[in-house]
Amino acid sequence: MKQMRKHLLLLLVFVLLVGNGLMGSLEAFASTHARQSPVLTHTEGGPSSKEELNHEDLVELQILGLTDFHGYLKALNDKNNGQINSPDGPITVGGAAYMATHLRNLKAGKENSILFSAGDDFSGWPFEVAAHREEPTIEFLNAIGLDFSVAGNHEFDVSSDFLKNHIMNGKCFGVINEDSCFNDSTGQRFQGADYEYISANVREADSGNLVLKPYVIKQIPDGKGNTIPVGFIGLTTPTTVEGSTSFQVGALTNDPLLESANKYAKVLKEMGIKTIIAVVHEGGSTKSDAIDFNGCDRPFGPIFDFAKQASAEIDAIIGGHWHAKFNCSIDDPEGNPRPVIEGANHGRLISEINLSIDPVSKDVVREMSRSLNHPVTRDVPADPVISKMVAYWDDKGKERWAKPIARQTDDLTRARNDKGESTLANVAADAHLAAGKKAANPADFALTAASPLRGDLLYNKGKNPADSDGQILFGEQWHAHGYANPVLVVTFKGQQIKEILEEQWRLKPDGSVSFHPLAVSQNVHYTYNVDKELNHRINPDYFLINGEPLDLERTYRVAALAYIVIGADGYETFKEYRDPVRVGGDYWVFLDYLKNQKVIEPPALHRVTSTTLITMNEIQNVLNHYVNSGDVEKPLDKGLSSRLKMAEHHFNQNSEDKAIKELEKFITYVDKRSMQRFISQEAHDVLEVKARALMEKWL
Ligand SMILES: [Zn+2]
């Protein structure tokens, strides 16, 4: 509809111009039209009516944007990163070294060019970048002369401190060249970004102050010895604060996009700035997205809602975050067209907008704005300096991958037993608890879903020459656990924890029930009963935290990843969390845990018991396990074993009452000996939970 109206308008102007005998170059045509156009009345003191302007008087400004780069320095060949579709078919794209060449070519001959990123420069998945704390990306963005970057949601994945102190100011943490401040490809220690990060709508929760500057102002020469100020407002998706990776509830707050954009457009206008660009880390898409990166067929999504409503003082809008591809012109609230463009992700596209600015009004002559997405093709020479940089970080990544960090005595895998437990999930829960213990209001225990488990850690040596049997390399553990999520510590009431545990079983539309087991940390042992109705399968008396049954009225601190906490793993009650505190990123928390343990023994799968599946044999095996590991002192096991045998004997004789009495005696004995410290806390909890499960089964 909008497109059609625009075409009609242009046709009308064309007819008028032909009628006036004013046909000239396209620029002169548009410039004349702009001067005469009543739609330009919003620009106070707009193109002077007294002074005739030639198109040579207009000041040309090129703005170049990239977005959602996510640290994709290497030219990859997979479909998602190495290809983009055009109406003429797929094009091979991507790679920082090619991007650098394209940027240089695009800038060639342009007197005024400003290069920026619309956010999500980092927190990507390329190992060599993520394992070096995003520093390789900063080296690249410095090298291509980025003028500024908007902070996307992922710029807050660690903390505002990390962004401001480490990324922007080069402040080191931990061991230099090991935890942060690595040597870059020139041999220099990381110094931080040469450019600024901006956001007009992310605030510190405490003070209410903006975390970053809301805008940047660039001065461009007008060719007559004066300058024209150009204001860029940075905006961050309002989903940042409650996003899974950027989760900052309690630390940061997010203002709405529109309100923030309009506020700062007004501020800039009052400063006399008329050329205003909104760089927005928020996106949308079109029906043509998948086939035409310059298409604009039926646009939808928050960036277009924004574009229709945002202050008419804003002359162009650059989006991001959705990894989408479009090149649109959307009318502002006063009916004037303005470019709205998004350039995909991972360095596959560069968005270009050329603006013509009237040096008298210092505002953009809208009708002359031209925008285009350029594919970062590989048919140009790779920039040699950037190529060297990319190769350097790739090598350094390989070195880091091969670094031994701990040993293991057996496989740690995602393979579940019949109760839903796995060795890797149990280690992950223990790692989350260890991190959660460091919070000021520390975690009582941890709950972990299957989602962060990405690969098995096998005892047998892998393909890497640095590997040997039982050796855990940095890269191996990195690929086993984590997806750039923070570990949080949150508060729940006991009743809510029971509900979360019940949500492990979910009714499917076809009436069947699916099982989504949660891993618990080593200080939790519990039993469930799948013979009972949904929502009645957890008995709080059989959910022991450090040997104490779950108290439905008490509050507990639980360590868990943000992804599960915001409800993304489907445990709905998790969303009722309170008092969240971040205690570290999942990759780093897991790494720290393994390093501190030095030698990892796969945890016994004794934390969860199923009433339906429990057998006397299982209890006997557990007892044997703890006797062997010294958790149950000899010869206590003799007395315990004989009670188990007696219970079984009575049960087989159909004397259930007597059998249960024996199990009660067994539990009392375990309790007493545990208090005397002849039985460890863990062995006590496991034996008690399992004996109770068997009693319930027999009842
Ligand atoms: Zn994003």
Q: At residue 125, does pLDDT exceed 90?
A: no
The alpha carbon of 62 and the centre of ligand 1 are apart by a number of angstroms equal to 24
Q: Is 437 exposed, middle or buried (0-12, 13-18, 19+ CB in 10 A)?
A: middle
User: Quick one: pLDDT at residue 53?
Assistant: 56
Q: How far apart are CA 361 and CA 539, in angstroms?
A: 74
Q: At residue 264, does pLDDT exceed 50?
A: yes
Average pLDDT, the chain: 92
Rounded mean pLDDT, 213-226: 95
Q: pLDDT tens, 464-503?
A: 999 999 999 999 999 999 999 999 999 999 999 999 999 9
Rounded mean pLDDT, 357-374: 96
The alpha carbon of 236 and the centre of ligand 1 are apart by a number of angstroms equal to 8
User: Quick one: pLDDT at residue 55?
Assistant: 67
Q: pLDDT tens, 329-356?
A: 999 999 999 999 999 999 999 999 999 9
The alpha carbon of 293 and the centre of ligand 1 are apart by a number of angstroms equal to 19
Q: From residue 468, give the alpha-carbon distance in Å to each of 275, 402, 462, 465.
A: 61, 11, 7, 8
The pLDDT > 90 percentage for the chain reads 89
Q: How far apart are CA 353 and CA 190, in angstroms?
A: 32
Q: pLDDT tens, 174-216?
A: 999 999 999 999 999 999 999 999 999 999 999 999 999 999 9
Phi, psi values for residue 499, rounded to 5°: -65, -40
Give the confidence band of 57 by pLDDT, cuts at 50, 70, 90. confident
Lowest mean pLDDT among 120-129, 260-269, 518-527: 120-129
Q: At residue 127, does pLDDT exceed 80?
A: yes
Q: How far apart are CA 109 and CA 694, in angstroms?
A: 81
pTM for the full predicted model: 0.88
Give the confidence band of 24 by pLDDT, cuts at 50, 70, 90. very low
The alpha carbon of 183 and the centre of ligand 1 are apart by a number of angstroms equal to 28
Q: What is the DSSP string of 382-426?
A: PPHHHHHHHHHHHHHHHHHHT-EEEEESS-B-----TTS--HHHH
The alpha carbon of 202 and the centre of ligand 1 are apart by a number of angstroms equal to 14
The class (CATH top level) of 402-610 is alpha beta
The alpha carbon of 569 and the centre of ligand 1 are apart by a number of angstroms equal to 20
Q: From residue 691, give the alpha-carbon distance in Å to each of 603, 657, 685.
A: 20, 15, 10
User: Quick one: pLDDT at residue 298?
Assistant: 97
Give the confidence band of 46 by pLDDT, cuts at 50, 70, 90. very low
Same fold, 37-394 and 402-610: no
User: Quick one: pLDDT at residue 124?
Assistant: 74
User: Quick one: pLDDT at residue 13?
Assistant: 38
Q: pLDDT tens, 639-652?
A: 899 999 999 999 99
Give the confidence band of 636 by pLDDT, cuts at 50, 70, 90. confident
Q: pLDDT tens, 665-675?
A: 999 999 999 99
* Domain ranges within the chain, ordered by starting residue: 37-394, 402-610, 614-699
The alpha carbon of 598 and the centre of ligand 1 are apart by a number of angstroms equal to 36
Q: pLDDT tens, 272-292?
A: 999 999 999 999 999 999 999
The alpha carbon of 89 and the centre of ligand 1 are apart by a number of angstroms equal to 27
CATH (one of 3.60.21.10, 3.40.50.300, 3.30.565.10, 3.20.20.150) for 37-394: 3.60.21.10
User: Quick one: pLDDT at residue 15?
Assistant: 37
